Amino acid sequence: MLKNVTIGYSLPASTLDNVFFTSVKISLSGENLFSNDKLPSGLNPEFSNLGGGSTYPYQRQFALGFNLQF
C-alpha cells in the first residue's frame, strides 16, 4: 500500500530574473494512491468492523501547492 507521496520542485533563481517573485516552489501530494492486497475493493484494513459498524472505502486524494515569495 502506498499511503502518502509528496513531490516538490523549486524553480531555479536564474529563471525568475524577469518576474516579480524571488522564489517559486511547486508541490504535488497524494494519499492512498496504490493498494496491492487481496482484500475486496475499497475495504480498509486499518479500520475494524467489530460491533456491526460500517466502514468507508479508501479515498484517493491529491493536493497541489504553490509557495511564492516576493
User: Number of structural domains, the chain?
Assistant: 1
- Specify the pairing of strand 2-10 against strand 61-69: unpaired
Q: Is residue 49 part of a domain?
A: no
Give Cα 56 to chain centroid, integer Å. 19
Confidence (pTM): 0.68
Q: Is residue 8 part of a domain?
A: yes
Query: What is the per-residue pLDDT across 8-64, written as a single tens digit (0 to 9) for each?
Result: 999 998 888 888 889 999 999 999 888 766 666 666 666 655 555 566 667 889 999
| Residues 12, 26 contacting (CB under 8 angstroms) | no
Q: Which domain holds residue 34?
A: 2-41+58-69
Q: Is residue 10 part of a domain?
A: yes
Contacts of 55 (CB under 8 A, 6+ apart): 43, 44, 47, 49
pLDDT of residue 43: 63
